[in-house]
Amino acid sequence: MGNVMRMEFSALAENEAFARSAAAAFVMPADPTIEELTEIKTAVSEAVSNCVIHSGSESVAMECALEKSGRLTIKIEDRGVGIEDVDKAMEPLFTTGDEEERSGMGFTVMESFMDKLRVKSEIGKGTTVIMIKYLDVPGDI
């Protein structure tokens, strides 16, 4: 058995940094490398940012689970509008926002920094992003 943390916060832009910091603090007992920590923080930022910008949800929930093996699972979920076509949304450069302000690279960034990425979404009910990263754990956490 490992460690689990769940929190919920308002879907506000200023809470992106809070979520990123909380995920980083949660994983610290596993003694991640600076690179691993940066990748985790960036992926969390992208997932939370998507919720804040695109979902229309009032809140965002984040759950982190760290197993003794070093497997880190992070779930970011909203109860917003949902994504009509997840496969299309995950294509690089695809955005439903203002193309001058948004790069459409959020899912691509998450996918490149984590070992596994899964996105589940239902119209009118929200979206859940599940990210998994395998940390090189130097001992028991």
**Residues forming the active site:** 46, 50, 102
Four-point Cα dihedral 55, 131, 15, 125, nearest 10? 30
Return the bridge partners of 119, or none.
Answer: 129
In angstroms, the CA 136 to CA 130 distance is 20
- Phi/psi class of residue 31: alpha, beta or left (left: φ > 0; alpha: ψ in -120 to 50)? left
